[in-house]
Structure 1
Amino acid sequence: MTVSLSQKCIAEFFGTFVLVFMGCGSAVLAGAHVGFLGIAFAFGLSVLAMVYAIGHISGCHINPAITISMLAHGKISGKDAGAYIVSQIAGAIVGSAVLYFIAQGKADYAIAVNGLGQNGVEGGSPDHYSLISGLVAEIVLTAIFLIVVHGSTSKNNSNGAFAGLAIGLALTLIHIVGIPVTGVSVNPARSIGPALFVGGAALSHLWVFIVGPIVGGLLGGFIWKLYDNK
């Protein structure tokens, strides 16, 4: 089956939309009911579902850090990578916009108080971790995530049919550990969408959630290549 770049971009847009709307939505709309553990599973299940829904179309990156890491290892062209990243950011923005619209239907909702599932450090961190702690956490967590992504989708892996399960569960695990620190990004698009609506510290600290995941993604790809270089 021949898939055009436009079809891949639509898939990446939709997949990122679902990730942001469902993942951040679990925090904004259902956080009081499901807690951190429920939010962690919402992000993991969103990726798991999208891997099987759009993976055969675009590879289901839905994350600029993954796309950049794939580009660094020659798994995607520069042209496609650029188009993927634009589509992912657009999907995240639209997902955040729809979530914001729904959240406003609750009388006591205020974006300045309740937020939009944005990531943060210092005062914006759920447990008030420092900027340095947040940056290091994002680098390390993204590196771990990309090792799983590269490893589970490698042509040397005979269990490739279960890649979606491994990737989804890995993201869940990362959120279980990392939500108290930054709310967990490991995905620049996921952070850009909510930050544009929330503004303030979410926007001024946005660089942490762009630089951290990109560095972590490249690091994770490098570590994977050290042992899976056939």
Structure 2
Amino acid sequence: MNKKLFTELFGTYFLVLIIGLTSGNPLAVGFGLVVLVYCGAHISGAHYNPAVTLAMLIQKEISVVDSFKYFFSQILGSTLAALSIYLMKSNMQIQPVLGDSIYPIFFSEIIFTFLLVFVILNVATHPNLKGNSFYGLAIGLTV
């Protein structure tokens, strides 16, 4: 289990680090995620996102206890990445405009998180696609 938790922490750390240091450049984020998924899928499932872990819990691919351990690893990884970004950059590049409503941000997150989870469930966990080699590319390009 420790190897799985370290993989989730490591993958989440680098995913958030890539997002923060490239100002969310879609190609950098997408290809970074492809690499991270291929590196960690055989170890932990390469969730790197609590929404994905929740989907795997609902699909009974992971136990309740393990899902909370994954959540902790992902939150710790993203927090350490945010701290690293803060220490490496003089200002945060990705932040909402303070005068704007937060509802469009939440709506976008819900819609695109649904899309990400939908793709993962259909290319990485579907029984008819067991052992496929395109899952990492499909997941990374979704981001």
Q: TM-score, normalised by structure 1?
A: 0.58
Secondary structure (helix, strand or coil) at the match of 1:57 reads coil
Q: Distance in 2 between matches of 1:99 and 1:133?
A: 25
Q: Which residue of 2 aligns with 1:131?
A: 102
For structure 1, list consecutive stretches of 5 or more residues without a partner in the other structure.
28-35, 104-108, 172-230
Q: Deviations over 1:146-179 (max 9, x none)?
A: 11110011122267210000000011xxxxxxxx
Contact between 1:12 and 1:62, CA under 8 Å: does it hold in 2? yes
Q: Distance in 1 between matches of 2:57 and 2:98?
A: 32
Q: Deviations over 1:53-74 (max 9, x none)?
A: 1111001001000001110111
Q: 2:20 aligns with which of 11, 21, 24?
A: 24
Contact between 1:20 and 1:95, CA under 8 Å: does it hold in 2? yes
Question: Considering only CA atoms, is the larger Rg found in Structure 1 or Structure 2?
Answer: 1
Q: Distance in 2 between matches of 1:21 and 1:138?
A: 19
Percent identity of paired positions between Structure 1 and Structure 2: 32
* Structure with larger RCO (C-alpha < 8 A, sep 6+): 2
Q: Which residue of 2 aligns with 1:65?
A: 51
Contact between 2:18 and 2:29, CA under 8 Å: does it hold in 1? yes
Asked if 1:146 is matched to 2:81, the reply is: no
Q: Which residue of 2 aligns with 1:167?
A: 139
Q: TM-score, normalised by structure 2?
A: 0.90
Alignment of 1:176-195 (within 5 A): none
Provide the alpha-carbon RMSD of the alignment.
1.8
Q: Pick the structure with more helix per residue.
A: 1
Deviating runs (4+, > 3 A) in structure 1? none
